[in-house]
Amino acid sequence: MTWLVTGGAGYIGAHVVRALVHDGAPVVVLDDLSTGDASRVDPGATFVAGSVLDGDLVARVLRDHEVRGVVHIAAKKQVGESVADPLLYYRENVAGLVTLLEGCRGQGVDRFVFSSSAATYGLPDVELVDEDTPGIPLSPYGESKLIGEWLLRDCAAAYDLRVMSLRYFNVAGAASPELGDPGVFNLIPLVFQALAAGQRPKVFGADYPTPDGTCIRDYVHVDDLAAAHLTAARALESGVPGTTYNIGRGKGSSVLDVLRMVGEVTGTDLTYDVVDRRAGDPARVVAAVDRIRDGLGFTAQRDLRDMVDSAWAGWQAQHP
Ligand code: WQD
């Protein structure tokens, strides 16, 4: 059966397309190329340029390619930008999802994998965040993802639709250098950028209630994330009911752990500046990963070294 991957020309989407194609699935990609790059799309997939907000195009793609399932990754994903321009996020992430779902309903597409986020949890005050931890997102970005989950839950209850919502934790790394993250918004690329500019990376606060005082996150390799999508898609194909899953490793790394790893991988004697806390940063966000392990048999395989190593190769390929 053919899968539509929206946002399949982006950093995460291109990895998901690659995983599906390598597993033998027919794939069509819909991407508006606002941040994506068509050259990232695996040659085994069909590429269509356009937006999920274009209902006629969505219906045509679903019909012409006999799509039976959708992996919806196309979205805006910058927290700060979402605070500055919430309507952009509600249009792209919420209205885009509604348009796509209307298309699915019209064409009888009944399997849906949704790109959600740990940003739906806000400031979780627990050692490990499980999927039932109540979420109070701190930004329009996180809200747009939680609203997406609610929309999908309601549609799954009302219509013939099964949904897997995947809450990504901190995604890093690359399956191959040319698929490296082109965005410089998250910790690891920001550290590479500082190194390349001969500057010291910034640590946002070292007075958190954590063992080394810096924030702890659950970093997960993008190739593991792609494998999780493949597992979820195949499970929907074989009739497994939909639910919500965390996608992380269940292991926390502090900002200083990440800096140390970057130092080792790049062979740099890395020094850094501790600056003020960044507003809204939780001290610790680490996934409970039992549900997807027990439900779908999925466990992330790649460690922090793998992530930093492959992200560095990607950085060097893109900044020769
Ligand atoms: C990681 C840690 C920073 C930069 C965000 C979104 C989340 C998800 C992933 C999409 C934090 C610290 C960072 C720097 C630093 N996105 N840091 N110096 O904020 O955990 O998560 O991206 O779904 O929804 O909120 O990721 O990479 O920005 O930060 O010390 O220069 O690194 O304070 O503790 P974050 P991040």
Mean pLDDT value across residues 62-91? 98
The alpha carbons of the chain give a radius of gyration, in whole angstroms, of 19
Q: For the chain, which domains are there?
A: 2-171+219-247 (3.40.50.720), 173-218+251-286+302-314 (3.90.25.10)
Among protein residues, the one with the nearest Cα to ligand 1's atom 19 is: 281
Among protein residues, the one with the nearest Cα to ligand 1's atom 27 is: 186
Burial of 316 (0-12, 13-18, 19+ CB in 10 A): middle
Q: What is the pLDDT of residues 202-227, one digit of tens each?
A: 999 999 999 999 999 999 999 999 99
Distance between Cα 282 and ligand 1 center (Å): 10
Distance between Cα 79 and ligand 1 center (Å): 9
For ligand 1, which residues put their CB under 6 angstroms from it? 77, 79, 117-119, 168, 170, 186-187, 190, 202-204, 215, 217, 255, 278, 281
Q: Which pTM does this prediction carry?
A: 0.98
Q: Look at residue 135 in the predicted model and tell me its pLDDT.
A: 84
* For residue 320, pLDDT beyond 90: no
Q: Look at residue 296 in the predicted model and tell me its pLDDT.
A: 98
Q: What is the mean pLDDT of the chain?
A: 97
- In ligand 1, the atom with minimum distance to the C-alpha of 77 is 10
Whether 141 is a known active-site residue: answer yes
Q: What is the pLDDT of residues 8-36, one digit of tens each?
A: 999 999 999 999 999 999 999 999 999 99
Distance between Cα 69 and ligand 1 center (Å): 31
User: Which structure tokens are listed for 179?
Assistant: 């698929």
* For residue 245, pLDDT beyond 90: yes
Q: What is the pLDDT of residues 134-143, one digit of tens each?
A: 989 999 999 9
* For residue 97, pLDDT beyond 90: yes
- In ligand 1, the atom with minimum distance to the C-alpha of 141 is 24
Give the whole-number percent of the chain exceeding pLDDT 90. Answer: 97
Mean pLDDT value across residues 164-170? 98
